[in-house]
Amino acid sequence: MKILLFITGTILLLTVQIVSAAPTEQGVLNLLDVINKPLNGVVSTGLVGGEPLPGLPNFTLGTGVAAYKVNYEDINTGESKSTYFPTVFATVRLGLFGGFSLPAVSGIGSLAIGARLGAITAGPENTVTVTGGELRVGLLNDSISTPGVSVSFTYNQVSDIKFGQDNDDAQAVIKAHNMGVKAVVQKELLIFTPYVGIGQEQFSTEATYRINSLNLNKSWDKDSSETRFLAGVEVSPVPFFRLGLEYNTIGGDSAYALSLRFKL
């Protein structure tokens, strides 16, 4: 009798474990909510602020890496996991117009355009790309007597990110894009150029998810707005090259970026 009760209890326990480990719609929705903020951080271009670039021939070409960490539950097993969204990226900026000279300052109204291409190289099952563009307006050019002040308008998007493989019972496919504006103040001090910034980002995240065992195939979307704060410093140890370190925080999530840029 004891053996029978033991066997019955064991079977019931295993059954409960199997049921609790089975994919649920709420588990998928929890994943989407958890992943939303760090994914937004990856998509947006707060990283590597820098100068207004007043007019030709100002040109920079750079590369760098940034990372956001996220904790989530596997939608197929319920297992707690941690992963990073490390993004290797390349940026280019080109000065278009040097602005207008005024007696008391070095210049106002400069214009520059920029582009960004990145790749998320680990974490989810597939490698995805991040692309974006930027229009930067120099409100005040950096000079001996004045700091540099610029405002940037940006748009970015990320290709599909999959959680769960194609042959798994459950899978979520997420994509996101954002529009943002940020103001950056900088001051060049010999070989050091510190800067700080603040911005506002509008995010749109969309997803489709399926759970075969529950015969579910649905869509999900979320719009949000977050304030971004950033601070960084660039060092020019040799002519034409800049080594930069930047810290960002947005919606309670933090990121660090390291970059190397070539500047004319």
- 2-13 pLDDT, tens digit per residue, is 333 333 333 333
What confidence tier does 49 reach under pLDDT thresholds 50, 70, 90? low
Q: Could you report the per-residue pLDDT of 239-264, keeping only the tens digit for each?
A: 888 888 888 887 777 777 888 888 77
What confidence tier does 218 reach under pLDDT thresholds 50, 70, 90? very high
Least reliable range by pLDDT among 6-15, 76-85, 86-95, 190-199 = 6-15
If one compares 21 and 145, the residue with the highest pLDDT of the two is 145
Q: Is the peptide bond before 239 cis (omega within 30 degrees of 0)?
A: no
Quote the number of domains for the chain: 1
**Integer CA distances (angstroms), 2 to 9, 11, 14, 23, in order:** 10, 14, 18, 34
In a domain, 9, yes or no: no
* 110 strand-pairing partners: 138
Q: Could you report the per-residue pLDDT of 132-168, keeping only the tens digit for each?
A: 898 988 888 777 778 888 898 989 888 788 888 888 8
Mean pLDDT of the chain: 78
In a domain, 14, yes or no: no
Task: Return the CATH number at 41.
Answer: 2.40.160.20
In a domain, 11, yes or no: no
In a domain, 15, yes or no: no
* 118 has a pLDDT exceeding 90: no
* 46 has a pLDDT exceeding 60: no
Query: CA-CA distance, 93 to 51, in Å (whole number)?
Result: 10
Average pLDDT over residues 103-125: 73
The type of residue at 173 is: V
**Integer CA distances (angstroms), 202 to 157, 221, 243, in order:** 12, 14, 29
In a domain, 17, yes or no: no
Phi, psi of 223 (to 5 degrees): -110, 140
What confidence tier does 121 reach under pLDDT thresholds 50, 70, 90? low
In the prediction, which pLDDT does 264 show? 74
Q: Domain containing 78: what range? A: 23-263
The type of residue at 189 is: L
Token duo for residue 98: 């040097």
In the prediction, which pLDDT does 124 show? 47
User: What share of the chain has pLDDT > 90, as a percent?
Assistant: 11
In the prediction, which pLDDT does 17 show? 33
In a domain, 12, yes or no: no
In the prediction, which pLDDT does 50 show? 64
User: What share of the chain has pLDDT > 70, as a percent?
Assistant: 78
In the prediction, which pLDDT does 263 show? 78
In a domain, 2, yes or no: no
* 25 has a pLDDT exceeding 70: yes
In the prediction, which pLDDT does 20 show? 41
Token duo for residue 110: 């400069």
In a domain, 6, yes or no: no
Q: Which of 160, 112, 174, 119 is nearest to 138 (CA)?
A: 112
* 115 has a pLDDT exceeding 80: yes
* 125 has a pLDDT exceeding 70: no
Q: What is the pTM of this model?
A: 0.76
